[in-house]
Chains A and B, each alone.
Chain A
Amino acid sequence: MSVLPWLVAAWLFCVGIYGIVTSRNFVHLIGCLSVCQSSTYVLLLGIGYQWGAVAPIFYDHPPGTPAVDPVVQALVLTDIVVGATVTALLLAMALQVSRKHETLDPQKLRPFIDEGRR
């Protein structure tokens, strides 16, 4: 059972990366990227976990009680917030792509050629 968290992280990452490689739509691709990102959350929280430990909040427990690793929790916390804004940035880029190329399919995209210069 103790490898289960690592397997979940690996599975999430593989599912996400398979989606990215075979994606036919940028919005789907950005969703897959978020799935990949979630695998890092599982991995980090798994590394910081300790059997029988409490949350790293010493309000009800006196300081010194075994607690899980607060460093990875802080990492995951900021990662989620920053990840959400980066997703928004990518979606804005997808909007631009669909305006310029009239497609959202990454496999149909060609390098943008300036019509005026040709």
Chain B
Amino acid sequence: MSTRLRLALFAVAQLCLLPAIWKIARALPPFGNPIEIYGRSIDTLGPPLRHISNMVSAVNFDFRGLDTVGEEFMLLCAVTGAVTLLRGIRGEDRGAKAERLPGRPLLDRAESTILVARVFAPLILLFGLYMVLHATVTPGGGFQGGVIIASGLLLVYLGEGYDAWRCLAPSRVFDAMEGGGSLLFLLCGLGPMAAGGVFMENLLPLGSIKDVFSGGLIVIENASVAIAVIGGFAMLFLEFMEETRAAETENER
């Protein structure tokens, strides 16, 4: 099929969709108008009901916690799928040597790279931790902080090299973090049911507002999401990195 024919077909399909698009476009609220009643209720009721000041976390981990369980398992499925696809061909062993084009010289890492990575990797990890811990107070949370921590791990790779990185971050740990984090999040939902409440009911003491450990169950859910996100992203980095390595046995052959 030529690109032109493809585009023509696509245009026809778009024409069929046009009435629906038009209807939705007409129904959009004017930009900047007062927000919907649902969001306004959460903004008003969230702080007194849950003793936390970050309403995005309140939506994610409490008021719409059930939806986040879905998101969490989408994350788990996507990571599991990607890792299975990549490991399926390669097996579980780790390649010892980097694949490189024959004849290309192997250069040492520049000292400035090592310095920058050593200075910034701990700082980024610390910043990620700060983001995770302050989910209920200031902007941040398990999702954002987890991604930042996992990205900080890449800087460790940049500064210390592949072998040191693999020793520091064994893939089994990340497997356990990804699965364990998701399990803990699910248990946060099921636990209150076992105690006689409803799914994800906030039965723990709520603490005082503007305190890092306020929000009761939200603190635990936030930590479990952070663990799962760190594990998932680090595992993805690891597996894609492993794609660029040559297996030792092949090298010797």
Contacts and interface: CB of A to CB of B under 8 A. Distances in A.
B138 A70 contact: no
Contacts, number: 153
Given A59-B138, A95-B243, A85 B82 contact: yes
A15 interface: no
B48 interface: yes
A21 B10 contact: yes
Given A50-B34, A70-B58, A88-B236, A81 B42 contact: no
B218 interface: no
Contacts of A63: 43-44, 46-48
Given A68-B35, A99-B89, A6 B78 contact: no
Contact of A50 (B32, B64, B74, B240): B32
Given A50-B34, A70-B58, A85-B79, A57 B42 contact: no
12 contacts: A21-B6, A51-B32, A74-B60, A77-B144, A78-B143, A84-B147, A85-B75, A88-B78, A88-B79, A91-B240, A92-B239, A107-B3
Closest 8 CB pairs of A and B: A69-B39, A56-B55, A70-B55, A63-B47, A85-B78, A74-B59, A51-B32, A69-B35
Given A46-B31, A71-B39, A93-B85, 9 more contacts: A6-B25, A47-B28, A56-B56, A57-B53, A70-B55, A71-B38, A74-B60, A89-B82, A92-B240
Interface of A: 2-6, 17, 21-22, 46-51, 53, 55-59, 63-64, 66-74, 77-78, 80-82, 84-86, 88-89, 91-93, 95-96, 99, 107
